[in-house]
Structure 1
Amino acid sequence: MRLSVVGCAGSFPGPDSPASCYLVQAEQAGRTWSVLLDLGSGALGPLQRHTDPLALDAVLLTHLHPDHCLDLTGLHVMRTHHPSGQVSGRLPVHAPPGAADRLARAHGVEHGESVEDSFAFVELHDRREVAIGPFRITPYAVRHPVPAFGFRVSAGAVTLAYTGDTDSCDALAPLMSRADLVLAECAFVEDRDTERGVHLTGRRAAEAAVAAGGVRRLMLTHLPAWNDPEVCRAQAAQVWCGRAPVELAEPGLRLEL
């Protein structure tokens, strides 16, 4: 499995990174399968450095906040108005309930304008596996102010766990358990952000990964521009006991897992 970090800024695009967007790819049957985990604000542009957006096999949305889904409106324009006229069929978009209406409201101006001519929306369900080519993706309902999921993505013997946006919750243990890499959101900072039920801190992300057991690597992501990433990393490092040090996601980062 290959992972490309297209965007890793939290809550809004930062000066150096779009909002959340992660491309996972793997080979099967003589071709490359490409799946996006989120397509947040600002991500469609740099996505084109990693792959042709018209060649995507599916998009999975953790939830329907703009920093995780808004650039689907731009992808709709690309798919419906590309001068090549080569786009056929509808792209599967696996998402929480209400995604079609949510994107219609975002795409329209005076009123909602459907994007279902180019997207086939499929509703996610807690712990119901989604199969896409070589990928087996299990969504886990997590703790956020709106319906939200984390994704456990497996291809062959490799597993990636992506928390999406969440605070500490019971679902993080099966989501993260024995993952080769955990992409853990870290929008909050210990002793600064006291509201619960919204986001993880570096410390809480590391606590969840340690409690899950068998996690090989921990990478913090979804870092708002106002955070100091090194503070978040240091808070996670106080808890993390893996062999590899705590890592930070960076836009453009590509990993072979």
Structure 2
Amino acid sequence: MKLTVVGCAGSFPSAESPASCYLIEAPYEGRTFRLVVDLGSGALGDLQRYVDLRDVDAVALSHLHADHCFDLSGLYVVSKYHPDGALPRIPVVAPEGAAERLAEAYGIDEPVGMTEQFEFLAHADGEPVRLGPFSITPRLVDHPVTAFAMRIASDTHTIAYSGDTGPTDVLVDVAAGADIFLCEASFVESGANPPHLHLTGADAGTVATRAGVGRLLITHIPAWTDRAEVESDTKSTWDGPCELVSAGSTYTL
């Protein structure tokens, strides 16, 4: 498996990074299967640095906030109107109602919406979906909208992704024994943080320690947040391999 951080800015694109978007690749049936996990604001442009958009095989969306899903509109344009002809329909696994919400955001009339280009599949808590070489198990987490963490496993390796969430024991199950735990840390311990919204680095480190992960990757840090403080918070509860990701970072398992 190969993980590429396309975008990692928290809540909105920064000057250095698009919002959340991750490319996960693995061999499958004699070729490379390419799964895009989240496609937030500004991500579609940078995604093209790493993959021809015609070669995207599937998309998985953690939730329907703009910084995690709105650039699916751009992918729809590419898929439907490419000068070489419309691209094959691909699966998009996402929270219930994604097809209607994203079609409305783009301005497409129902009932067709985006379904000519995307096969929308609804997350069901704890029920895995098979996309190419990956088994994706979504788990409902703690956020103001319906949101899912995801455990993405191939035959040999596992990447756990927190999505956006407040502290919840569900993350320990999602991340248990994962090679990589890609976890948000939007808040700092010194802040007056509202509940049921995001994690601190210390929260992420606690989950990583309890879950026994191989490597902790911290993501979704807003542009206004001090990365050094997030790192310090994380190291207060986690003493294993750790990195605050940047756009363009790659990790191979």
Residue identity in the other structure for 1:135: F
- Cα drift, residue 119 of structure 1: 1.0
CA distance in 1, matches of 2:184, 2:83: 38
Match of 1:232? 230
1:248 is the counterpart of 2:244: yes
Match of 1:221? 219
- Cα drift, residue 114 of structure 1: 1.6
Partner SS state of residue 104, structure 1? helix
Residue identity in the other structure for 2:252: E
Deviation per CA, 1:38-68, whole angstroms, max 9, x where unpaired?
0000000010111112211110000000000
1:33 is the counterpart of 2:33: yes
Residue identity in the other structure for 2:159: L
CA distance in 2, matches of 1:227, 1:6: 20
Deviation per CA, 1:100-149, whole angstroms, max 9, x where unpaired?
1110111018x778222211110000110111121111111111011100
Match of 2:13? 13
CA distance in 1, matches of 2:235, 2:152: 25
Match of 2:67? 67
Q: TM-score, normalization: structure 1?
A: 0.95
Partner SS state of residue 169, structure 2? coil
Residue identity in the other structure for 1:140: R
- Cα drift, residue 191 of structure 1: 2.1
Structure 1 segments, 4+ long, off by >4 Å, are none
Larger displacement relative to structure 2 (192-201 or 111-120) = 111-120
Residue identity in the other structure for 2:227: P
- Cα drift, residue 193 of structure 1: 3.6
Structure 1's unaligned 5+ residue stretches are none
1:103 is the counterpart of 2:99: no
Deviation per CA, 1:169-222, whole angstroms, max 9, x where unpaired?
12111101111111110111112142010000001111111122x211111100
- Cα drift, residue 156 of structure 1: 2.0
Match of 2:156? 157
CA distance in 1, matches of 2:192, 2:218: 17
- Cα drift, residue 241 of structure 1: 2.4
Partner SS state of residue 39, structure 2? coil
Partner SS state of residue 48, structure 2? helix
CA distance in 1, matches of 2:49, 2:166: 32
CA distance in 2, matches of 1:60, 1:237: 30
Matched pairs, number:
252
Partner SS state of residue 203, structure 1? helix
- Cα drift, residue 28 of structure 1: 1.9
Contact persistence 2:80–2:86 (CA under 8 A): no
CA distance in 2, matches of 1:91, 1:12: 26
Match of 1:198? 197
- Cα drift, residue 86 of structure 1: 5.0
